[in-house]
Amino acid sequence: MRVYLDMCCFNRQFDEKTDENVMPELRNIIYIQKEIVQGNIELATSFMLHYENYRKKNHRQRDAIDFFLKTYRKIYIGVDFSEKLKILSEEIIAAGIKPKDAYHIASAILADCDYFVTVDKKLLRYSSDKIIITNPINFVEVYGNV
């Protein structure tokens, strides 16, 4: 099984813990990351994940995420996929998704991911016949039953 974790999943550990959704999502994201580390789930990444991460001002957060992305990815969608990404992302943008988010989803599709995992509510409302878009809680429920 191959997944693409949206940047918001990596950022969740640094979010304010007072929101009632943060801790359950974070627990499931940590579980997913452990499964990736153990090799039970393949991680796909992209230049867009790295771009967003490198823009972080907090160097400790950026370095921790960068280490995970580079160490555990099985497939990387880089700029050499630009033309295919542009075509696919334009279709996603036309459905009302922001360009950066569209590039994340398009990258996951081109990486042949089974799931795109996000906590972004707007992205969770988008549906595609090319990939399953889900939150970490629902992903873990499905993954545990596979």
- Average pLDDT by consecutive 10-residue portion of the chain (146 residues)? 97 79 92 97 97 94 96 96 95 96 98 97 95 97 80
- Sorted by sequence, the CB contacts under 8 Å of residue 139 that are 6+ apart come out as 3, 28, 32, 115, 117
What pLDDT is stored for residue 146 in this prediction?
A: 58
2-144: CATH topology: Rossmann fold (3.40.50)
* pLDDT recorded at residue 17: 73
pLDDT at position 124 is 97
pLDDT at 14: 82
